[in-house]
Amino acid sequence: MTPAKRKITVLPGDGIGPEVVDSAIAIINATGVAVEFEKCEAGARAFQKGIVTGIPKETIQSIERTQVVLKGPLETPIGYGNRSANVTLRTLFETYGNIRPVRELPGVQTAFTGRGLDIVIVRENIEDLYAGIEYMQTPGVAESLKLISREGCEKIVKLAFAFAIAEGRKAVHCATKSNILKLTEGLLQHTFEELALQYPSITSKHILIDNAAHQLAMRPEQFDVIVTTNMNGDILSDLTSGLTGGLGFAPSANIGNDVSIFEAVHGSAPDIAGKNKANPTALVLSAAMMLRHIEEGKAANDVEQAVLVTLESGLRTSDMIGAEKPASTTEFTRAVISNLGKTSKLSPPKKYTKVELPPPQLGVNVVPAASRKLAGLDVYIESDLEAKTLATDLEKIAASSPLVLQMITNRGAMVFPGNGHRVSLVDHYRCRFVQRDGAAKIGDAEILSLLGAVGARHRWMHIEKLQDFDGEPAYSKSQV
């Protein structure tokens, strides 16, 4: 009896997407694996039809059935209009981990050729600034909320270590900006340092993200696996792909508990779309990652090795250095198919084991606090008053309140109490009120009363409660 074929959702995408996707499908089919592809729509055409997410209902239903996606690049309006269809897919199916491997490729000349680069960026994929929660707080001041959760940190750290173990890697670096963003980026650092104790066979080290970028430009071979937050990972993964030849060679996997999406990280390149010039390497290597994910390890190794053998042979597409007589997309595809079953002389197959994904966390994930105390609030006020004048008025408003004005900042700089230094002001003030010495315990009623009094005289747009958890302040302190 013929075994049932594994169904895979395919999103051809925009621009060169259909060409590189067709290349990958042809190569997968040539391996003889029992798979069946469901081609669906997403991206530019869906936006043009008025589908605000860029993802039609039929596409969502296919992904829910197959749980595996091979995706071409999707176009998204820049700077206005609809949210990225790529981000929508990651959020909708909670593909919380983005895995971006880069390695030195035979025959692909870079400034780092000969140094044996083999690095994996493991990027948290759904939180951070990419949650896309933004507001114009005044007509001239924009805000974006950077949300980092303990759950998100745990999942991405566990994935990074699981991936390192599956590939026989030796070290995991955690890259953050926790020296400045002590609560958000710091949460990833502290979670990493705590969980790393569960993986004694793997060397673990924290590194500041700016130092990581510096070290990647100077001595990248020191890195093995780097785990980091969403935006940092987006930037670092493009940097590392540049070390080994560029985005045309960079595969990726978006891993979730239920759905995983495999895609090249390059764009849709509309200038060469339909000209049979696209380099399909990145998507073909992404397809190899997909085959490994569905436990078709032999086919995955065969595809990966066939690409390496093809590059060793000197065949080049037009984007590659040294392509005097560039091969077309279809010529490169045929060459890879003809090299299936061959082994690279310079980069032999690796040994892989299955990546043991962390189990899904059910219900609402709560980090308990044994005690909590309301210490005050920050009120964000839109005003054209000078800071001292605003402070005088707020002090009058709070005169009978158990809360007292402690400070005012403008774009992060303290402007009250002043230090004599002049700073350029905008009409956006953060005004911190804390419990007055000797006052009774404050609660929501006192906050609402003060907020009502402030609102009677000033335009406010946002508040943040200041809380202590287990005796520790759960908010950033005053800045000079």
Residues serving a catalytic function are 130, 177, 210, 234, 238
287: how many CB neighbours lie within 10 A of its CB? 30
Q: Are 74 and 268 in contact (CB under 8 A)?
A: yes
What residues form DSSP beta bridges with 228? 123, 175
- Of 399, 408, 402, 418, nearest to 379 by C-alpha is 408
Phi, psi of 224 (to 5 degrees): -120, -75
Q: Can you tell me which residue has the tokens 């997309």? A: 329
- Of 115, 130, 129, 191, nearest to 160 by C-alpha is 191
Q: Can you tell me which residue has the tokens 């990074």? A: 160
Distance separating alpha carbons of residues 152 and 32, to the nearest angstrom: 38
With the CA atoms of 237, 238, 239 and 241 taken in that order, what torsion angle do they form, in degrees rounded to the nearest 10? 90
Q: Are 320 and 108 in contact (CB under 8 A)?
A: yes
Phi, psi of 152 (to 5 degrees): -60, -40
Residue type, position 27, single letter: I
Distance separating alpha carbons of residues 298 and 349, to the nearest angstrom: 10
Q: Are 47 and 36 in contact (CB under 8 A)?
A: no
DSSP calls for 246-284: -GGG-EEEEE-SS-EEEEE-S---GGGTTTT----HHHH
Distance separating alpha carbons of residues 192 and 85, to the nearest angstrom: 30
Q: What's the helix, strand, coil split of the chain in %, to 5?
A: 35, 25, 40
Neighbouring residues of 98: CB distance < 8 A, sequence distance ≥ 6: 90, 121, 122, 123, 124, 125, 233, 237, 252, 253, 254, 255
